[in-house]
Protein backbone atom coordinates (compact mmCIF):
# COMPACT_ATOMS: atom_id res chain seq x y z
CA UNK A 1 0.00 0.00 0.00
CA UNK A 2 2.81 2.35 0.82
CA UNK A 3 4.53 1.54 -2.46
CA UNK A 4 1.43 2.54 -4.51
CA UNK A 5 1.22 5.94 -2.91
CA UNK A 6 4.90 6.53 -3.42
CA UNK A 7 4.71 5.45 -6.99
CA UNK A 8 1.64 7.63 -7.57
CA UNK A 9 3.24 10.82 -6.34
CA UNK A 10 5.21 11.64 -9.47
CA UNK A 11 2.02 11.22 -11.55
CA UNK A 12 0.06 13.53 -9.31
CA UNK A 13 2.79 16.14 -9.43
CA UNK A 14 2.86 16.00 -13.21
CA UNK A 15 -0.90 16.47 -13.41
CA UNK A 16 -0.73 19.45 -11.09
CA UNK A 17 2.06 20.96 -13.16
CA UNK A 18 0.01 20.55 -16.40
CA UNK A 19 -3.08 22.06 -14.84
CA UNK A 20 -1.14 25.06 -13.53
CA UNK A 21 0.60 25.50 -16.86
CA UNK A 22 -2.74 25.32 -18.70
CA UNK A 23 -4.26 27.92 -16.44
CA UNK A 24 -1.24 30.16 -16.89
CA UNK A 25 -1.39 29.82 -20.68
CA UNK A 26 -5.11 30.56 -20.76
CA UNK A 27 -4.66 33.63 -18.61
CA UNK A 28 -1.73 34.79 -20.71
CA UNK A 29 -3.64 34.17 -23.93
CA UNK A 30 -6.69 35.96 -22.60
CA UNK A 31 -4.67 38.96 -21.34
CA UNK A 32 -1.94 39.19 -23.96
CA UNK A 33 -3.14 37.09 -26.95
CA UNK A 34 0.15 35.19 -27.34
CA UNK A 35 -1.50 32.02 -28.68
CA UNK A 36 -3.61 33.70 -31.37
CA UNK A 37 -1.07 32.92 -34.10
CA UNK A 38 -0.76 29.35 -32.89
CA UNK A 39 -4.52 28.89 -32.99
CA UNK A 40 -4.65 30.31 -36.50
CA UNK A 41 -2.09 27.81 -37.75
CA UNK A 42 -3.81 24.99 -35.91
CA UNK A 43 -7.12 25.91 -37.54
CA UNK A 44 -5.40 25.84 -40.91
CA UNK A 45 -4.07 22.36 -40.19
CA UNK A 46 -7.41 21.10 -38.92
CA UNK A 47 -9.50 22.59 -41.80
CA UNK A 48 -8.78 19.78 -44.33
CA UNK A 49 -9.80 17.22 -41.74
CA UNK A 50 -13.02 19.12 -41.00
CA UNK A 51 -13.70 19.49 -44.72
CA UNK A 52 -13.27 15.74 -45.29
CA UNK A 53 -15.50 14.99 -42.32
CA UNK A 54 -18.21 17.38 -43.59
CA UNK A 55 -17.87 16.34 -47.26
CA UNK A 56 -20.27 13.33 -47.16
CA UNK A 57 -22.90 15.43 -45.39
CA UNK A 58 -22.56 18.32 -47.85
CA UNK A 59 -22.54 15.90 -50.78
CA UNK A 60 -25.74 14.31 -49.51
CA UNK A 61 -27.37 17.70 -49.07
CA UNK A 62 -26.32 18.80 -52.58
CA UNK A 63 -27.56 15.57 -54.14
CA UNK A 64 -30.85 15.83 -52.24
CA UNK A 65 -31.39 19.38 -53.48
CA UNK A 66 -30.60 18.34 -57.05
CA UNK A 67 -33.02 15.42 -56.90
CA UNK A 68 -35.76 17.56 -55.34
CA UNK A 69 -35.22 20.27 -57.94
CA UNK A 70 -35.38 17.71 -60.76
CA UNK A 71 -38.58 16.22 -59.36
CA UNK A 72 -40.10 19.69 -59.01
CA UNK A 73 -39.14 20.51 -62.59
CA UNK A 74 -40.70 17.28 -63.84
CA UNK A 75 -43.89 17.95 -61.89
CA UNK A 76 -43.99 21.55 -63.12
CA UNK A 77 -43.40 20.41 -66.70
CA UNK A 78 -46.19 17.84 -66.43
CA UNK A 79 -48.53 20.47 -64.98
CA UNK A 80 -47.69 22.97 -67.72
CA UNK A 81 -48.13 20.29 -70.40
CA UNK A 82 -51.55 19.41 -69.03
CA UNK A 83 -52.49 23.08 -68.83
CA UNK A 84 -51.32 23.60 -72.41
CA UNK A 85 -53.46 20.72 -73.64
CA UNK A 86 -56.44 22.11 -71.73
CA UNK A 87 -55.95 25.54 -73.27
CA UNK A 88 -55.60 24.02 -76.74
CA UNK A 89 -58.91 22.20 -76.30
CA UNK A 90 -60.53 25.43 -75.11
CA UNK A 91 -59.03 27.26 -78.08
CA UNK A 92 -60.41 24.66 -80.48
CA UNK A 93 -63.85 25.06 -78.94
CA UNK A 94 -63.49 28.83 -79.13
CA UNK A 95 -62.60 28.61 -82.81
CA UNK A 96 -65.56 26.31 -83.39
CA UNK A 97 -67.89 28.73 -81.59
CA UNK A 98 -66.40 31.63 -83.52
CA UNK A 99 -66.93 29.80 -86.81
CA UNK A 100 -70.47 28.82 -85.81
CA UNK A 101 -71.25 32.39 -84.83
CA UNK A 102 -69.97 33.59 -88.21
CA UNK A 103 -72.12 31.04 -90.05
CA UNK A 104 -75.21 31.99 -88.07
CA UNK A 105 -74.65 35.68 -88.72
CA UNK A 106 -74.27 34.97 -92.45
CA UNK A 107 -77.44 32.87 -92.43
CA UNK A 108 -79.28 35.60 -90.57
CA UNK A 109 -78.04 38.13 -93.10
CA UNK A 110 -79.21 35.94 -95.95
CA UNK A 111 -82.66 35.53 -94.45
CA UNK A 112 -83.03 39.31 -94.39
CA UNK A 113 -81.81 39.76 -97.96
CA UNK A 114 -83.91 37.15 -99.76
CA UNK A 115 -87.25 38.54 -98.65
CA UNK A 116 -89.07 35.18 -98.47
CA UNK A 117 -89.87 33.42 -95.22
CA UNK A 118 -86.77 31.66 -93.96
CA UNK A 119 -86.24 29.04 -91.27
CA UNK A 120 -83.00 27.40 -90.23
CA UNK A 121 -82.51 23.62 -90.02
CA UNK A 122 -79.63 21.48 -88.84
CA UNK A 123 -77.91 18.86 -90.99
CA UNK A 124 -78.21 15.43 -89.38
CA UNK A 125 -76.43 13.22 -91.91
CA UNK A 126 -74.90 13.05 -95.38
CA UNK A 127 -75.66 10.25 -97.83
CA UNK A 128 -72.51 8.16 -98.20
CA UNK A 129 -73.58 6.79 -101.60
CA UNK A 130 -71.00 8.22 -104.02
CA UNK A 131 -73.54 8.16 -106.87
CA UNK A 132 -75.90 10.47 -104.99
CA UNK A 133 -75.68 13.84 -103.30
CA UNK A 134 -78.22 14.02 -100.49
CA UNK A 135 -78.36 15.23 -96.89
CA UNK A 136 -80.80 14.70 -94.00
CA UNK A 137 -82.11 17.69 -92.01
CA UNK A 138 -84.03 17.92 -88.71
CA UNK A 139 -87.20 19.51 -90.09
CA UNK A 140 -90.26 17.67 -91.40
CA UNK A 141 -94.05 17.72 -91.59
CA UNK A 142 -94.33 19.11 -88.07
CA UNK A 143 -92.41 22.17 -89.33
CA UNK A 144 -94.55 22.55 -92.50
CA UNK A 145 -91.75 21.35 -94.77
CA UNK A 146 -93.07 20.41 -98.23
CA UNK A 147 -91.90 18.54 -101.33
CA UNK A 148 -89.58 20.43 -103.70
CA UNK A 149 -89.06 23.17 -101.11
CA UNK A 150 -85.92 25.24 -101.86
CA UNK A 151 -82.94 24.81 -99.53
CA UNK A 152 -79.98 27.18 -99.43
CA UNK A 153 -77.13 28.44 -97.25
CA UNK A 154 -75.57 31.87 -96.75
CA UNK A 155 -73.78 31.69 -100.13
CA UNK A 156 -76.35 30.22 -102.49
CA UNK A 157 -78.72 27.44 -103.52
CA UNK A 158 -78.10 23.99 -102.07
CA UNK A 159 -80.98 21.91 -103.43
CA UNK A 160 -84.58 20.96 -102.74
CA UNK A 161 -86.63 18.69 -100.48
CA UNK A 162 -87.31 15.30 -102.10
CA UNK A 163 -88.59 13.30 -99.09
CA UNK A 164 -90.58 14.61 -96.12
CA UNK A 165 -90.84 12.75 -92.82
CA UNK A 166 -92.59 13.69 -89.61
CA UNK A 167 -89.46 15.07 -87.93
CA UNK A 168 -86.86 15.08 -90.71
CA UNK A 169 -86.50 15.48 -94.46
CA UNK A 170 -84.12 14.53 -97.27
CA UNK A 171 -82.53 17.25 -99.40
CA UNK A 172 -81.29 16.47 -102.91
CA UNK A 173 -78.30 18.72 -103.56
CA UNK A 174 -77.86 20.52 -106.87
CA UNK A 175 -74.80 18.34 -107.58
CA UNK A 176 -76.86 15.14 -107.54
CA UNK A 177 -76.95 13.64 -111.09
CA UNK A 178 -80.77 13.59 -110.98
CA UNK A 179 -81.09 17.27 -110.08
CA UNK A 180 -81.79 19.90 -112.75
CA UNK A 181 -82.23 23.59 -112.00
CA UNK A 182 -83.28 26.39 -114.41
CA UNK A 183 -80.66 29.15 -114.18
CA UNK A 184 -79.70 32.41 -115.83
CA UNK A 185 -76.38 34.16 -116.52
CA UNK A 186 -76.43 37.48 -114.66
CA UNK A 187 -74.16 39.28 -117.14
CA UNK A 188 -76.07 38.46 -120.32
CA UNK A 189 -79.45 37.09 -119.23
CA UNK A 190 -78.74 33.81 -121.07
CA UNK A 191 -80.93 30.99 -119.73
CA UNK A 192 -79.81 27.42 -119.32
CA UNK A 193 -80.17 24.42 -117.00
CA UNK A 194 -77.66 23.49 -114.30
CA UNK A 195 -77.47 19.72 -113.89
CA UNK A 196 -75.63 17.84 -111.17
CA UNK A 197 -72.66 15.73 -112.20
CA UNK A 198 -72.52 13.48 -109.13
CA UNK A 199 -69.34 15.13 -107.84
CA UNK A 200 -68.96 17.36 -104.80
CA UNK A 201 -68.26 20.66 -106.57
CA UNK A 202 -69.33 20.55 -110.23
CA UNK A 203 -72.40 21.54 -112.23
CA UNK A 204 -72.93 21.04 -115.94
CA UNK A 205 -74.71 23.80 -117.86
CA UNK A 206 -76.88 22.25 -120.57
CA UNK A 207 -78.10 23.29 -124.01
CA UNK A 208 -75.52 25.98 -124.74
CA UNK A 209 -74.75 26.10 -128.45
CA UNK A 210 -71.28 26.77 -129.84
CA UNK A 211 -72.43 29.92 -131.61
CA UNK A 212 -73.45 31.65 -128.43
CA UNK A 213 -70.30 30.99 -126.41
CA UNK A 214 -68.49 34.20 -127.34
CA UNK A 215 -71.28 36.50 -126.24
CA UNK A 216 -73.59 34.48 -123.99
CA UNK A 217 -71.32 32.99 -121.33
CA UNK A 218 -67.69 32.98 -120.24
CA UNK A 219 -65.49 31.89 -117.35
CA UNK A 220 -66.25 33.92 -114.23
CA UNK A 221 -69.91 34.55 -115.01
CA UNK A 222 -72.34 34.27 -112.09
CA UNK A 223 -75.40 32.10 -112.62
CA UNK A 224 -78.57 32.49 -110.56
CA UNK A 225 -81.99 30.86 -110.42
CA UNK A 226 -84.17 32.02 -113.29
CA UNK A 227 -87.52 31.43 -111.56
CA UNK A 228 -88.67 29.04 -114.29
CA UNK A 229 -90.31 25.82 -113.10
CA UNK A 230 -91.97 27.59 -110.14
CA UNK A 231 -89.78 25.79 -107.57
CA UNK A 232 -87.06 28.30 -106.82
CA UNK A 233 -87.66 32.05 -106.51
CA UNK A 234 -85.74 34.11 -109.03
CA UNK A 235 -82.29 35.54 -108.36
CA UNK A 236 -80.70 33.10 -105.88
CA UNK A 237 -76.95 32.55 -106.57
CA UNK A 238 -76.21 29.08 -107.88
CA UNK A 239 -72.60 29.03 -109.05
CA UNK A 240 -69.74 30.54 -111.03
CA UNK A 241 -68.68 29.41 -114.50
CA UNK A 242 -65.22 27.84 -114.40
CA UNK A 243 -64.95 26.07 -117.76
CA UNK A 244 -66.25 26.79 -121.28
CA UNK A 245 -65.09 24.28 -123.90
CA UNK A 246 -66.53 23.77 -127.41
CA UNK A 247 -67.18 20.15 -128.35
CA UNK A 248 -67.18 19.82 -132.14
CA UNK A 249 -68.55 16.30 -131.95
CA UNK A 250 -71.65 17.40 -130.06
CA UNK A 251 -74.32 20.02 -130.73
CA UNK A 252 -73.70 21.74 -127.41
CA UNK A 253 -70.59 23.06 -125.69
CA UNK A 254 -69.18 21.63 -122.47
CA UNK A 255 -69.71 24.25 -119.78
CA UNK A 256 -69.15 23.67 -116.07
CA UNK A 257 -69.78 25.77 -113.00
CA UNK A 258 -68.62 25.73 -109.38
CA UNK A 259 -71.51 25.83 -106.85
CA UNK A 260 -71.55 28.86 -104.58
CA UNK A 261 -72.99 27.01 -101.57
CA UNK A 262 -70.84 24.86 -99.26
CA UNK A 263 -73.00 21.90 -100.13
CA UNK A 264 -71.60 19.09 -97.96
CA UNK A 265 -69.79 21.18 -95.35
CA UNK A 266 -72.70 23.01 -93.74
CA UNK A 267 -74.03 22.33 -90.27
CA UNK A 268 -77.06 24.51 -90.83
CA UNK A 269 -79.21 25.21 -93.89
CA UNK A 270 -82.06 27.57 -94.72
CA UNK A 271 -85.52 26.44 -95.77
CA UNK A 272 -87.34 28.90 -98.02
CA UNK A 273 -91.07 29.52 -98.17
CA UNK A 274 -92.36 31.67 -101.02
CA UNK A 275 -94.27 34.82 -100.18
CA UNK A 276 -97.97 34.21 -99.94
CA UNK A 277 -99.99 36.20 -102.45
CA UNK A 278 -102.44 38.64 -100.95
What pLDDT is attached to residue 114? 53
Residue 69 lies in a domain: no
- Angle subtended at Cα 34 by Cα 32 and Cα 37, rounded to the nearest 5 degrees: 135
Asked whether residue 126 falls in the same domain as residue 262, the answer is yes
Asked whether residue 137 falls in the same domain as residue 228, the answer is yes
Of 45, 61, 77, which residue is a domain's last? 61
Asked whether residue 157 falls in the same domain as residue 253, the answer is yes
Residue 258 lies in a domain: yes
Residue 101 lies in a domain: no
Residue 181 lies in a domain: yes
Residue 88 lies in a domain: no
Q: What is the residue range of 127's domain? A: 115-273
What pLDDT is attached to residue 1? 42
What pLDDT is attached to residue 44? 66
Asked whether residue 124 falls in the same domain as residue 45, the answer is no
Asked whether residue 37 falls in the same domain as residue 121, the answer is no
Asked whether residue 54 falls in the same domain as residue 124, the answer is no
Asked whether residue 260 falls in the same domain as residue 122, the answer is yes
Domains: count for the chain: 2
Asked whether residue 227 falls in the same domain as residue 145, the answer is yes
Asked whether residue 145 falls in the same domain as residue 239, the answer is yes
Report, as an integer, the average pLDDT of 29-52.
65
The Cα–Cα gap between 203 and 182 comes to 12
Of 61, 77, 95, which residue is a domain's last? 61
Residues paired with 257 in a beta bridge: 203, 241
What pLDDT is attached to residue 40? 67
- We report the CATH number of the domain holding residue 245 as 2.40.10.340
Asked whether residue 161 falls in the same domain as residue 56, the answer is no
Asked whether residue 57 falls in the same domain as residue 119, the answer is no
Asked whether residue 12 falls in the same domain as residue 146, the answer is no
Residue 169 lies in a domain: yes
pLDDT tens digits for range 149-196: 999 888 889 999 999 999 999 999 999 999 999 999 998 889 999 999
pLDDT tens digits for range 215-260: 678 899 999 998 887 788 888 889 999 998 887 777 788 899 999 9
Residue 92 lies in a domain: no
Residue 89 lies in a domain: no
Amino acid sequence: MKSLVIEGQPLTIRVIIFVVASIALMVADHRLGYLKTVRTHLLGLVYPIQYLVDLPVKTGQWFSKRVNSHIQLLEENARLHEENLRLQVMLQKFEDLKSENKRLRELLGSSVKVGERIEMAEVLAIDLDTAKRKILINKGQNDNVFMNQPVMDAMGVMGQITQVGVFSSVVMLITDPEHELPVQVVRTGLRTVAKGMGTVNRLSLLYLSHSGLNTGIKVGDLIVTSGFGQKFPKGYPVGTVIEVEPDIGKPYAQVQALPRAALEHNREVLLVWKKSKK
